[in-house]
Structure 1
Amino acid sequence: MKTLRSSFSVALAAILSFGGSTAAVAQQNVAFSQQFAGSTVLLTSGDTIQGPLVLHRNEDVIRLTMPDNTVSTLSAVAVQSFAVKGQKEDRRNYEDFFDTRAGYYYGNPYYSVPRPRRERVDTSQVRVFRTYRWNHDKDYSDFKSPAFFEQLSGGPSVLLRREVLVERTINNGPMYGPGYGYGYGGYGVPSMSRYRTMKDVFYLGLPNGNVLPLRNPKKDLLAIFRQQAKQIEQYAKGNKLDFMDPRELASIVNYANSLQKEAK
């Protein structure tokens, strides 16, 4: 427990040390939560509390189990930052693309269909979240409300991520359409199928507290760091870094920050 708390203290100190053939035919966000065995939460009041934590992603709310087993519910407006460790995988958040009895094998009509993201949960990883005021991607809205963003890089410009669970509807094509048995295609599976998968949505947190969406991470990031764009692109290419991979994109942002510091 001492080691866990120590890790959280280091993480929180770090985040406070610098300034500021198939076709998808439908997609919708699905409410989901993530559970963690331990956490350190820094409140806007300056107080720190610890305990097992549940993060409700869509609502930007955390529920903390206190030492006396009472549960404290906190919205983003009351939280400055928090660090979590010991993620518990909740398989209820995911659904296989189709019944596993159908199998993933060559010759199966669904073999080439995109599959849900399946990453092994790293229970030893300390993850840090910070609160930013956000317009919820409404570009022409001045209204902003506090929301949780996971911090993936150092600063002063910080790579941020929001994980969302989405449900997609897939049209399996005319070959397996309604003509093959009342909405069922060949092999006795539906011509329209649904699956759930995790989706990473990236942002850049600026020193002034603003949050910029990175809808096209490479294009948007090079536009933001316009003066260093050529060097950044060469760095990514030389190190074979993918602008869509969270860890590799974090390395690119850290490099971009280092270039700005050198220029000063």
Structure 2
Amino acid sequence: MKTLLHSCRAGLLTLALALGLGGPAAAQQRQTFTQQFAGSTVLLTSGDTLQGPLLLHRNEDVILLTMPDNTVNTFSAVAVQSFAVKGQQDDRRNYYDDFFDSRSGYYYGNPYYNMPPRPRRERRDTSLVRVFRTFRWNHDNDYSDFKSPAFFEQLSGGPNLLLRRESLIERPVYNNPMYGGYGYGMPRTMYYNEIRDAFYLGLPSGNVLSLRNPKKDLLAAFRQHAKQIEQYAKDNRLTFTEARDLAFIVNYANSLQKEPKP
């Protein structure tokens, strides 16, 4: 009986892994993420300034810049001081803001039911100028002193800068067999892509402070004015999780003191 029970458990585990139900490791996977922009101005560490259409490889922290003669120059973050871009040209892969937003009215137990998913709303303004700066970063490895140059998007004014890094995450959707069409009553795993924001605080010293828990970590960084900042967010109905709201909060925090203590 015990042997049979162990065999059944092993079979269920194998089936779960095959269906993508293998726990947190299978719940999300980082995808290759590139963004294309119609125009850019790039300031190199050499002091040179270049302009042209730009392709940003976010995972690798590399940009490809198309020159007026149609040649393409490749620059890693170590060669770039900052760059500004506008005119984002989406690759039509329809990224979701989040799971609950994407599923509302767009499918009924079946991803991509009869309508395409809603693209991320904040990307519609192609005239928006976005600024990226290079910081040396430990890649969120708190146990390592090694830092390498990486691109961060600047979302606020200074002297302490709200920074963001975006990554593309593939998430599964497990479908109930009651919605049919999959045969033998077995659920089918399908996937959707989601853009995930990670926030940081760029300090005047050049260091980068990770805001893993934006509210807790930001209030700790500006601990002397934490109560004022929290009250400001409450009075203005600002959250500590949305990029736009968080930028307002950091700008306010900057008005209260010049530099937080990390």
Distance 1:173 1:38, change over 3 A: same
Q: What is the RMSD of the two structures over their aligned residues, measured on CA atoms? A: 3.2
Deviations 1:203-243 (A, max 9, x none): 11111111111111111101111111000000000000011
Find the counterpart in structure 2 of residue 246 from structure 1: 243
Residue-by-residue CA offset, 1:106-140 (whole Å, 9 max, x unaligned): 993359xxx77622421100000000000111111
**Is 2:173–2:190's contact at 8 Å kept on the other side of the alignment?**
yes
Question: Structure 1: which amino acid aligns with 2:108?
Answer: N
1:230–1:95 CA distance, 2 compared to 1 (3 A): closer
Q: Which residue of 2 aligns with 1:27?
A: 28
Aligned to 1:61: 62
CA change 1:132–1:171 in 2 (3 A) is same
If you compute each CA radius of gyration, which structure gives the higher value, 1 or 2? 2
* 1:226 to 2:223 alignment: yes
Match of 1:257 in 2: 254
- Alignment partner, residue 14 of structure 2: none
Question: Could you tell me which amino acid in structure 1 is paired with residue 30 of structure 2?
Answer: N
Q: Deviations over 1:63-92 (max 9, x none)?
A: 000111100000000000000011111113
Q: Does 1:108 align with 2:105?
A: no
TM-score by length of 2: 0.78
List alignment gaps of at least 5 residues for structure 1. 1-22, 185-189
Q: 3-state SS of the aligned residue for 1:68?
A: coil
In the aligned structure 2, how far is the partner of 1:31 from the partner of 1:44? 26
- The residue that corresponds to 1:144 in the other structure is 147
Give 1:135's aligned residue.
138
Q: Secondary structure at the match of 1:91?
A: coil
The answer to whether the 8 A contact 1:166-1:196 is kept is: yes
**Structure 1 counterpart SS, 2:28:** strand
The change in CA–CA distance for 1:169 and 1:232 in structure 2 (over 3 A counts) is same
For residues 174 and 205 of structure 1, the distance between their equivalents in structure 2, rounded to whole angstroms, comes to 48
Alignment check: 8 A CA contact 2:170 2:194 kept: yes
Give the conservation status (yes or no) of the 8 Å contact 1:97–1:116.
Answer: no
Length, aligned pairs only: 228
Alignment partners' CA distance in 2, 1:234 and 1:132: 31
* Contact 2:110/2:179 (<8 A) preserved: no
Higher RCO (C-alpha under 8 Å, 6+ residues apart): 1
Q: Percent identity?
A: 70
Residue in 2 that maps onto 1:198:
195
Identify the residue that residue 208 of structure 1 maps to in structure 2: 205
2-structure distance, mates of 1:64, 1:204:
28
CA contact (8 A) 1:117 1:197 kept: no
Residue in structure 1 matched with residue 120 of structure 2 by the alignment:
118
Q: Is the 8 A contact 1:28 1:167 kept in 2?
A: yes
Matched, 1:50 2:47: no
Q: What's the offset of the Cα at 1:194? A: 1.5
For residues 153 and 107 of structure 1, what CA distance do their matches in structure 2 show? 36
Structure 2 distance, partners of 1:135, 1:244, is: 23
Alpha-carbon distance in structure 2 between the residues aligned to 1:180 and 1:254: 55
Q: Which residue of 1 aligns with 2:81?
A: 80
After TM superposition, where is structure 1 displaced by more than 6 Å over at least 4 residues in a row? 95-98, 173-177
